[in-house]
Amino acid sequence: MMPEERADVLVIGSGAAGAAVTKRLADFGVQVVCLEQGEWVKPADYPSTHAEWEIQLRRGTFHFSPNIRQRDEDYPVVPAGVNPPNVLMFNAVGGSTLHWTGHFPRFHPSDFRVKTLDGVADDWPIRYQDLEPYYDMNDREMGVAGLAGDPANPPRSSRPTPPLPLGQLGETIGRGFDKLGWYWWVSDNAIISRDYEQRPACDLHGKCMFGCPIGSKASTDVTYWPKALRKGAVLKTWARVREITLDAKGRARGAIYYDRQGRLHEQRARVVVISANGIGTPRLLLNSKSKLFPQGLANSSGLVGKNFMIHPFRFLEGVFEQRMDGHDGPFGIPAFSQQFYETDLKRGFLRGYTFLLERSFGPLHHAWGGFANQPVPWGARHHRVMRQRFPHIIRITILGEDLPEESNRVELDPEAKDSSGVPAPRVSYTYSENSLKMLDHGSAMARQALQAAGAIETLDSGIIVPAFHLLGTARMGTDPGRSVVTAWHQAHDVKNLFVVDGSSFATSAAVNPTSTIGALALRCADGIWEHRREWS
């Protein structure tokens, strides 16, 4: 094994969290090394630049699931539980931000106080006000299109660029919400609508989830990483981390990783930050067993891998007589509604959900059944039904808050391994009764909204296989017996080890998490810098 020069800080993972931590610390002059098990992806290789891009929805090297695409840099994920999840993530410089939609909402202040307000889950050890300046900082770094003034959320600074166009789709569903007297707002998206920091404005290409070839969508390979590298940060690709190493005092010493040729290296550092997502992070901690930590690193609480949250989703698609052209324009969410976001016990469940008023993929996706998974029939009716649906559909996505449960968890699978022999994660998940009731309510309300907007038919996906947003498996908190890291993401058990990504969430809220992940990462970096004299 080849030891390497000791860095100030080692970051594991280059996605929404790892990139933000690295760049912020590099700004302070910290010597940062980041290990990424994937590689840089060339924009010319994105499926979005090719005519057959929709094939990737079913197969190919850019499929959302590592179990299907099976790239060399991927690891398998073994699903389990009553509702075995189809885990979606990507391994590359930028991580899953290469694939994401760019939707960029923030948590509500109430999301940090779920236990106090509703008697469930746990309160976060921080408040919205603690994170607000980092939300703003992350907005500026990533580049956001949106409209300030949303009455359902705290005031925020002017958005870096104006909102993306609503299009016929957004205007139509907006009229439906207006007719019902329901609140909705233009969405924040990390897709710039004007040229911004040497990146071009969105050209409404419309295939955002398969990579933005011009860099308008804020994947961290085009936002944080160029700046971090100019500041002196070092990014090592094809570096698959096997375990975190410790010194004689039980402090993190560094990480052992495999290079592309399978050779072992140890990258040492004064501080180690893990940002490998809500599944990769607990996998690494659990695999880092030692005499001091026989249950896995930083796991004296026994909670590493437990309380896994993955947002409950349900899709309703309204078919309209007029064209909606939902395949055109950015896949980022044009608008959203949080009419049913906060707890109302009369609905029969706790917490709430967001309506995402969404665009869709192209004709092949619609023929396969769209998000509602109701395929266009073969035979005499095929062309008539296809013409009715494409491009005439508006989609409402119900995104519900998932409450943490210890039975939903990430473990090491006893048999499955990646190509380097590192144990694969086994992810067990079961929908709660609360989530199922929430999705049923959302389905009824979404159907009402589509009909108010003029839909002549509605298609309902029913309960889907859970897949999106990997959260909660190394949660933050003040009690070392009920959490893995502190409010500053410092491991309770190992003082120079930090965990910041979706795994450190205490609760999931009912919004996409990427904006919050980036803000938490920037705040974590500031905490490391403020205590830099402790890491010698």
pLDDT digits (tens, 9 = 90+) for 54-74: 999 999 999 999 999 999 999
pLDDT value at position 535? 86
Integer angstrom CA distances of residue 163 from 166, 185, 387, 394:
8, 11, 31, 19
- Interval 374-406: pLDDT, tens: 999 999 999 999 999 999 999 999 999 999 999
Q: Is the pLDDT of residue 4 over 90?
A: no
Q: Give the C-alpha separation, 29 to 67, whole Å.
A: 39
Position 5 scores a pLDDT of: 84
What number is the average pLDDT over the span 209-229? 96
The upper half-sphere exposure of residue 465, i.e. CA atoms within 13 Å in the direction of its Cβ, equals 12
Instruction: Name every residue whose Cβ is closer than 8 Å to that of residue 499 and which is 6 or more positions away in sequence.
Output: 273, 274, 275, 281, 285, 298, 474, 484, 485, 489, 491
DSSP-derived pairing of the beta strands 7-12 and 185-186: unpaired
Q: What is the pLDDT of residue 206?
A: 85
Using pLDDT thresholds of 50, 70 and 90, give the confidence band for residue 431.
very high
Encoded amino acid at 529, one letter = W
CB 351 within 8 A of CB 510: yes
Q: What is the mean pLDDT of residues 456-470?
A: 95
- Please report, rounded to a whole number, the percentage of residues in the chain having pLDDT higher than 90: 95
137: left (phi over 0), alpha (psi -120 to 50) or beta: alpha
**What is the pLDDT at residue 95?**
96
Confidence check: pLDDT of 363 > 80: yes
- The yes-or-no verdict on residue 536 having pLDDT over 80 is no
pLDDT of 3 = 62
Which residues, listed in sequence order, are joined to residue 268 by a DSSP beta bridge? 254
Strand partners, 399: 313, 354
Q: Work out the average pLDDT over 81-89.
A: 96
Is a pLDDT exceeding 80 seen at residue 2?
Answer: no
pLDDT score of 328: 87
pLDDT at position 329, please?
85
For residue range 275-326, what is the model confidence (pLDDT) as tens digits? Answer: 999 999 999 999 999 999 999 999 999 999 999 999 999 999 999 999 999 9
pLDDT in tens, 474-490: 999 999 999 999 999 99
Of these ranges, 39-48, 358-367, 424-433, the one predicted with the greatest mean pLDDT is: 424-433
pLDDT at 1: 66
pLDDT in tens, 95-132: 999 999 999 999 999 999 999 999 999 999 999 999 99
For residue 430, pLDDT beyond 80: yes
pLDDT at 284: 98
In this prediction, residues 436-448 reach a mean pLDDT of: 98
If you average pLDDT over every residue of the chain, what do you get?
96
Q: Is the dihedral of CA 216, 220, 225, 228 positive or negative?
A: positive
Distant-in-sequence, close-in-space partners of 294: CB < 8 Å, separation ≥ 6? none
Residue 330 pLDDT greater than 90, yes or no:
no
Segments making up each domain of the chain, as ranges: 4-30+38-78+87-243+256-290+307-491+500-521
